[in-house]
Amino acid sequence: MILVLSASLNPGSRSRILATACREHLESLHREVMWFDLASTPLPFCDGAAAYGDPNVVELGKLIGAADAVFIASPVYNYDVNAAVKNAVELTGKKWTEKIVAMMLAAGGTGSYMSAMGFANSLMLDFRCLIVPRFVYATGESFEGNSLADDEIQSRVELLVHDTLHLADALRSAKAE
């Protein structure tokens, strides 16, 4: 099972457009895809206590735990992924252990293309995640209304999907041996 996590809380989110393109491509490949959208399924702030028992947190934890790979689509704010996705990781913690993680980022400009590295390092160091070394980084001209603007950005999403599935399939096969 593959999980697509849309991290934006903005209803008109460009990162959600990336997440949707990813989900649609996965479905066209007949992969089992689960969708979790932080805008429609809100999580409480991590308080180090009661928030862990929230039903939405429990559900997200189950999906992450069952996933062969997780695609994260996040907006970039202040040269970093948004706080909502960092909060999701804080709330679900060890469920991320040894997961394959792919990232799609939507940003206002080209200057923050390295913005996911701190987040990626945290996932690698804390949970031994395998971070797919190909990100999709898209700026405003990559979008037109509620869709991707051109074939080039679509092909980047598709390449990320194929690379991630290749890693997930290889890891699952190695674990089965």
Give tens-digit pLDDT for 152-162: 999 999 999 99
What CA–CA distance (Å, rounded) separates 72 from 76?
Answer: 12
Give me the chain's average pLDDT, please: 95
**CA distance to 33, 66, 108, 158, per residue, from 28 (Å):** 11, 21, 29, 11
Q: What is the pLDDT of residue 176?
A: 85
Average pLDDT over residues 31-38: 98
Is residue 11 pLDDT above 90, yes or no? Answer: no
Q: What is the pLDDT of residue 65?
A: 98
Confidence of residue 73 (pLDDT cuts 50, 70, 90): very high
Pick from 2, 38, 25, 9: nearest CA to 136: 25
Average pLDDT over residues 39-52: 96
Average pLDDT over residues 34-59: 97
Pick from 38, 10, 24, 3: nearest CA to 106: 10
What CA–CA distance (Å, rounded) separates 77 from 151?
Answer: 26
Average pLDDT over residues 122-140: 95
Q: What is the CA radius of gyration of the chain?
A: 15
Q: What is the pLDDT of residue 119?
A: 95
Pick from 114, 105, 28, 112: nearest CA to 71: 105
Joined tokens for residue 117: 């590295």
Confidence of residue 177 (pLDDT cuts 50, 70, 90): confident
122-149 as b/e: b if 16+ CB within 10 A: ebeeebebbbbeebbbbbeebbeeeebe
In CATH, 2-176 is 3.40.50.360? yes
DSSP designation for 150? S
Q: What is the pLDDT of residue 101?
A: 98
Task: Return all residues near 65 (Cβ < 8 A) that are at least 6 apart.
Answer: 95
| Rounded percentage of the chain residues whose pLDDT exceeds 70 | 100
Are 115 and 79 in contact, with CB atoms under 8 Å apart?
A: yes
Is residue 108 pLDDT above 90, yes or no? Answer: no
